[in-house]
A and B are shown apart, each in its own frame.
Chain A
């Protein structure tokens, strides 16, 4: 009886260590962002908010954050519309080869980001597409599509389509029945998929690095640039704000769907 008990206790110790391990870098970034000195030091010296104020003056940080938010929002929205329509048709077996279509639409997730980035770069060059914003947007729709497809397909598989038929018998047109009955039912699952898609796009480095230009830089590119050129706690302050935004988003999502359902990745 001793071995199971000891190994069970060891598992708990491991879980505790894992949590410490996972959170230390995150906590350190937040701690450093409140420091007074310009060099990263741990434990942080003094307390100040000056690095948060300096975000405004830092070259391009705010502009790139705004660009990233735009690209993430628009690409998620487009994926949401295109992906959901596609998923409904696949789940309802309205088209031949539905499973193949679903696998295909979700497959960008299996391809390394850098490979996708290079593929986009070469094709954009080939057709003479020079606009960084447009290229980024197209690439990020491809990037977000798998997240939408997976969650929407999962939500739809739990939806009872006879409710749509019932609505139609009661006089709803088909599009209207989808909008009034189907959409409210799958919305929570879909929203969590959209949140993941947004985060994936907002955080993306390996695809965007090939597509940005001097005037059009997304936040991850700008952050890494800043880290390599002139690392000061402004980067930490920006990162800390990102961490807080993530936590808020997760809490909202938890309220909407419950964390557990979101993670059928």
Chain B
């Protein structure tokens, strides 16, 4: 056991040959094999299921999902749900993240915890609270009434307003946190420098702040979009069948009408949407993050 031993130890323990050969396999295989069997194969089976029905190989599910205007409308509904939730969260979340990143250190930790906490509260619980909030005698009607926006209490639950109000409420922290984590690394002197070089506030924002915080924005957008496009619980409780989404169709196909071919095809379409978001966002985040990160 001299210095030679020490060099080899990093990758190969010298004493027990058996362990040295087998340790990596023993460590990786249980988890890897489990995930292949319990995760990869079931997803592949689902994809295979989408290409066959009771009679054998068939594209009937896709012909329905991608050919029938009714189902195209549903796919569009899902995308719209994702888009509006994402844009709303971005418009509200970006300035909030900015204020958060400029807060004094101790306050910042507290505010951060307050933004973070709702994320750990069950979505069902939050949606339940939102539904109570938007009842005819709920706090939101009371507020709108007293601020003079409306003359008499409105029916809010089961409207698209309720849907987006609720969706943004549930997923907003997922937009704020990634933007904040990039923004707090931004050196405030950069904006001062831009200002002292003669750039106006709008130019400074567009040319300095926004480009440097882009990695956070991209991360937030992809996170919120990918989760809200597939949301099931919140739309189900706040608007129900009046706004059919891909998620509702999938759940109904398996739980109610038992049209597995339809459900599987819809699931694959959603899978493609999800994978596309992941790849697009990594593509956009890569070069930007290299520019944005400072030493």
Pairs A–B under 8 Å by Cβ, sample size 24: A3-B200, A3-B201, A22-B118, A24-B133, A28-B139, A29-B129, A41-B137, A42-B137, A85-B28, A85-B30, A104-B35, A108-B39, A115-B267, A122-B49, A122-B260, A123-B45, A141-B34, A142-B38, A165-B10, A169-B9, A173-B16, A227-B128, A247-B117, A259-B109
Interface residue B144 (Cβ < 8 Å from any Cβ of A): no
- Contact segment of B68-76, B147-155, B173-181, B284-292: B173-181
Q: Chain B 163-185, CB within 8 Å of chain A: the 1/0 string? A: 00000010011001110010000
**How far, in angstroms, from A11 to B91 measured CA to CA in the complex?**
11
- B126 near A: Cβ within 8 Å? yes
Check: B121 CB closer than 8 A to any chain A CB. Answer: yes
Given contacts A82-B31, A119-B46, contact A113 B117 (CB under 8 A): no
Does chain A have a CB within 8 A of B6?
Answer: yes
Q: Let me know if B271 and A206 touch, CB within 8 A.
A: no
Is B257 located at the chain interface by the 8 A CB criterion?
no
Instruction: Decide: A260 near B120, CB < 8 A? Known: A11-B98, A25-B169, A101-B32.
Output: no
The answer to whether B121 touches A89 (Cβ under 8 A) is no
Quick one: closest B residue to A7, CB to CB? Answer: B201
How far is A205 from B92 in the complex, measured between Cα atoms in Å?
Answer: 27
**Interchain CB contact under 8 A, A118 and B120:** no
Query: A interface vs B, CB < 8 Å?
Result: 3-4, 7-8, 10-12, 14-15, 18-19, 21-29, 32, 40-42, 82-83, 85-86, 88-90, 92, 94-95, 101, 104-105, 108, 110-116, 118-123, 126, 138-139, 141-142, 145, 161, 165, 168-169, 173-174, 199, 202-203, 205-206, 209-210, 220, 223-224, 227, 235-236, 239, 242-243, 246-247, 249-250, 254, 259-260, 263-265
Does the CB pair B96–A223 fall under 8 Å? no
Residues 45-86 of chain B, each 1 if its beta carbon lies under 8 Å from chain A, else 0? 110010000000000000000000000000000000000000
Residues of A within 8 A of B27 (CB): 85-86, 88-89, 94
Chain B residues with Cβ under 8 A from A206's Cβ? 230, 232-233, 247
Closest to A19 in B: B114
A82 to chain B: closest residue by CB = B31
Known: A18-B92, A42-B138, A142-B35. A165 touches B9 (CB 8 A): yes
Q: Among A139, A247, A250, A263, which residue has the most Cβ atoms of chain B within 10 A?
A: A263
B111 within 8 A of A: yes
Tell me how far the C-beta of A215 lies from the nearest C-beta in chain B, rounded to whole angstroms.
Answer: 17
Q: Which residue of B lies closest to A223 (CB)?
A: B124
> B210 at interface (Cβ–Cβ under 8 A)?
no
Given contacts A24-B139, A25-B133, contact A142 B30 (CB under 8 A): no
Tell me if B90 is interfacial: C-beta within 8 Å of chain A.
Answer: no
Residues from chain B with Cβ under 8 Å of A161 in the complex: 10
Do B113 and A210 touch across chains, with their CB atoms under 8 A apart? no
Q: B24: CB under 8 A from chain A?
A: yes
The distance in angstroms between the C-alpha atoms of A260 and B116, with both chains bound, is 10
With a CB–CB cut-off of 8 A, which chain A residues contact B6? 165, 169
User: Nearest Cβ in chain B — how far from A159, in angstroms?
Assistant: 14
